[in-house]
Amino acid sequence: MKLLVREELRPLVTDHAQPCVSLYMPTLRGRENQQNAIRLKNLYVKARENLIAQGMRAPDATEYLEPVGRMMQDADLWRHCSDGLAVFRSREQFRTYRVPFPFQDTVVVADRFHLKPLLPLFTDGEFFHLLVLGLKGIRLLQCSRQHLLEVDLTGKVPAGLGEMMAGYVPEESVKFHTASVAGGGGKAMGVVHGATGADERLRKKYILEYFQQVDKGLLQIVSERATMLLAGVKYLCSLYRQVSGFRGLLDVEVNGSMDMTSLKDLHEQGRQAYETHRESVRGQALARFREAVGTPAASTELEKIVPAAYNGQVQMLWVPSGLQRWGKFDAVAGTVEVHEIQKYGEEDLVDFAAVHTLMHGGEVFASGEPIAGGSGSLTPAPLAAIFRYA
């Protein structure tokens, strides 16, 4: 089961191999395996009924949802639950994701996947990764403001510097081991037997090699663009930055020894540091929007924002919580029809604009506050955007 990062939106957004089945459900952690399986079965039954109601033969509907049926019997899946589960099935793909916050039970069978429940993961920096660095081991947490999921790294990264050094024959023909992970003002401590006057140089060399292996393993499961916040003694964070391939690595850190820190405290410290970072980002973005109001570089008109988002033109988008606008977008003509009430075959154009902004690397800010106006003043607006180019 994959980690849900921004890049995973693209195959979901572009898949029109109908019918597209989207299932969302809350999940219980721990040993409540049976209850989770029963909940999924109920969603499976509703999805099958919807497929049949839309003209699919009953045996074909059963075969179409067969991957979902297998999930109900997957004991290992239920042993590693987070707070929410999202399942997507089309004629071309089957994808499942654990998510660190609960969903409402939802079944949607349509001509495209229903992605709106996922948006809190990506809007306004709601979702981030906390990478806890230590010489005895690495921990990776997927975090939202209220929830977290610890990612199982077994077999993906070295269990610690000691594991990497086991059987390792360095160029200097010496043996190396860690005496302690942190100490002496936050510096990582190592002991090198047989080396004279080279302890610090060797210690740094081996820690960098260790972090290179860690980074290589992490990049196999997390996108290089994932928002990543480091936690650990400052010395280790500095060394990791020298070798990391993550483009979404933040400047802000949680510094100190994390060996004895609980998951709850890690989450709280990470959340506070991340909130401080996001407040700065939001402030800078709002200042940019104020400057751009009244020019072709910004807009509060849905009819302009939707085609711009589709074409990758939107750099920043503000979406008030709960806002919906139903209608249709003609990608060929570039035209938008908007209606107050949903009609058959129409979609939520606000959802459409947000998803395509994210898919093209833009930022989406969830805000219920007025953000638009002229001459630097703020007046209510349904949504607003800054464009990459006019």
pLDDT score of 176 more than 90: no
Q: How confident is the model at residue 293 (pLDDT cuts 50, 70, 90)?
A: confident
Q: How confident is the model at residue 345 (pLDDT cuts 50, 70, 90)?
A: low
Instruction: State the helix-helix crossing angle for 349-359 and 302-310, rounded to 10 degrees.
Output: 40
The CA-based dihedral angle spanning residues 241, 244, 247, 252, taken in that order and rounded to the nearest 10 degrees: -30
Phi, psi (deg, nearest 5) at residue 351? -60, -45
Annotated domain spans of the chain: 6-121, 128-281, 293-387
Three-state SS string across the chain, please?
Answer: CECCCHHHHHHHHCCCCCCEEEEEEECCCCCCHHHHHHHHHHHHHHHHHHHHHCCCCHHHHHHHCHHHHHHCCCHHHHHCCCCEEEEEECCCCEEEEEECCCCCCEEEEECCCCCHHHHHHCHHHCCEEEEECCCCCCEEEEECCCCEEEECCCCCCCCCHHHHHCCCCCCCCCEEEEEEEEECCCEEEEEEECCCCCHHHHHHHHHHHHHHHHHHHHCCCCCCCCCEEEEECHHHHHHHHHHCCCCCEEEEEEECCCCCCCHHHHHHHHHHHHHHHHHHHHHHHHHHHHHHCCCCCEECCHHHHHHHHHCCCEEEEEECCCCCCEEEEECCCCEEEEECCCCCCCEEHHHHHHHHHHHCCCEEEECCCCCECCCCCCECCCCEEEECCC
Task: Say what the pLDDT of residue 167 is.
Answer: 56
Q: How confident is the model at residue 31 (pLDDT cuts 50, 70, 90)?
A: low
pLDDT score of 193 more than 50: no
Peptide bond into 19 cis (omega under 30): yes
pTM: 0.64
Q: How confident is the model at residue 99 (pLDDT cuts 50, 70, 90)?
A: confident
The CA-based diameter of the chain, rounded to the nearest angstrom, is 78
Q: How confident is the model at residue 86 (pLDDT cuts 50, 70, 90)?
A: very high
How much of the chain, in percent, has pLDDT values that exceed 70?
82
Does residue 329 or residue 342 have the better pLDDT? Answer: 329
**Mean pLDDT of all residues in 29-48:** 86
Task: Say what the pLDDT of residue 3 is.
Answer: 56
User: How many beta carbons lie within 10 A of that of residue 99, not counting itself?
Assistant: 25
Q: How confident is the model at residue 372 (pLDDT cuts 50, 70, 90)?
A: low
pLDDT score of 33 more than 60: yes
Q: What is the pLDDT of residues 227-284, one digit of tens each?
A: 899 999 999 999 999 999 998 899 999 999 998 899 999 999 999 999 899 888 888 8
How much of the chain, in percent, has pLDDT values that exceed 90?
41
Query: What distance in Å separates the CA atoms of residue 328 and residue 209, rounded to the nearest whole number?
Result: 53
Task: Say what the pLDDT of residue 371 is.
Answer: 58
Query: What distance in Å separates the CA atoms of residue 182 and residue 190, rounded to the nearest whole number?
Result: 9
Task: Say what the pLDDT of residue 344 is.
Answer: 62
Task: Say what the pLDDT of residue 351 is.
Answer: 83
Q: Does domain 293-387 have CATH number 3.30.1330?
A: yes
pLDDT score of 305 more than 60: yes
Task: Say what the pLDDT of residue 111 is.
Answer: 80
Q: What's 128-281's CATH class? A: alpha beta
CB-facing half-sphere around the CA of 87: CA atoms within 13 A = 27
**Mean pLDDT of all residues in 295-324:** 90
CATH homologous superfamily of 6-121 = eRF1 domain 1 (3.30.960.10)
**Mean pLDDT of all residues in 127-152:** 88
Q: What is the pLDDT of residues 153-163, one digit of tens each?
A: 988 999 888 88
Does residue 241 or residue 116 have the better pLDDT? Answer: 241
Phi, psi (deg, nearest 5) at residue 194? 95, -5
CA 74 to chain centre: 24
Tell me what the pLDDT averaged over the chain comes to. 82
Contact 48, 68 (CB under 8 A): no
